[in-house]
Structure 1
Amino acid sequence: MAKRPPTIPDSELDVLKVLWERGQATVREALETLKAAGREWSYATVATLLDRLETKGLVESDRKELAFVYRPTISSQEVRRRRVSSLVDKLYEGEPGLLVLHLLKSHPLDPGQAMEVREVLDQMTAANKPKKKG
């Protein structure tokens, strides 16, 4: 049986976002960035979240002078892919089209994005058409 990828709660995701933005950070640097964004966490909270992320293999750390420096080992794109897949499985019975329909009906797109969506749908439709025999 395949091992399931680790879950990433929102609090851990907030810390990962800091690492993606900065490239790397100590606990103190991450805490400062999070506080500037309105999070009122303690040093111990951020240290615990980074430790959990490291245990899950989603960040790695190097000891640099007195502080550990943390770097993400997972990309933001991979986290998005996993979270959307989970959302589709849990809320849309594994049917991504249902999620797309919900998003299109409830979240208006700007004209440029709408055109991109239309182009993707046209390409998908064209790829699924049977070839004419001549």
Structure 2
Amino acid sequence: MTAEQPIHKQPEPTKSELEILQVLWAHGPSTVRFVNDQLNEQKRAVQYTSTLKLMQIMVEKQMLDRDESSMKHIYSAALEEQKTKGLLLDRFVDSMFNGSASSLMMQLLGNKKTSKKELQAMKDLLDKMEDGKK
């Protein structure tokens, strides 16, 4: 018999932590300076020291890994992108739409202009899901 592994609950990133993770997911392992520059270009004005402190906290929370083997520390995402996005989406659907993915889709389709190409992709996905259930 094997002992069961303890379940390690993945931490839920805050909005600021998610912004940092998105930079690292898109660009790979990076310095604090690079991440801070990206945040300033993409999001809003952020002080270098604020980014550094938050990334240090994220290492403590096991959201980031830090390579200290060179003079410039290199940070990388310790959380998997798809798993994290799936977790956040599940929590969002649960809290905002009582767990109903179809209610979320109806809201999205009602609020945005959806192109014919996007609609066709959704239809194709639904067809594949239907075929998988048969």
TM over 0.5: yes
Asked if 1:42 is matched to 2:33, the reply is no
**Residue 17 of structure 1 pairs with residue 22 of structure 2:** yes
Q: What's the counterpart of residue 90 of structure 1?
A: 95
Secondary structure of 1:67's match? coil
- TM-score by length of structure 1 reads 0.81
TM-score normalised over the length of structure 2: 0.81
**Secondary structure in 2 matching 1:60:** strand
Larger radius of gyration: 1
Distance 2:130 2:70 in 1: 57
Deviating above 6 A after TM superposition, structure 1's stretches of 4 or more consecutive aligned residues are: none
Counterpart position of 2:115? 110
- For the aligned residue pairs, the C-alpha RMSD in angstroms reads 2.2
Give the secondary-structure state (helix, strand or coil) at the position aligned to 1:83. helix
* Matched residue, 1:27: 32
Gaps of 5+ in 2: 1-5
User: What amino acid does structure 1 have at the position aligned with 2:48?
Assistant: Y
| Distance in 1, Cα, partners of 2:65 & 2:29 | 10
Alpha-carbon distance between aligned partners in 1 of 2:102 and 2:133, rounded to the nearest angstrom: 15
**Unaligned 5+ runs, structure 1:** 130-134
2: distance between equivalents of 1:99 and 1:55? Answer: 34
Quote the offset at 1:20 in angstroms: 1.6
**Identity in percent:** 23
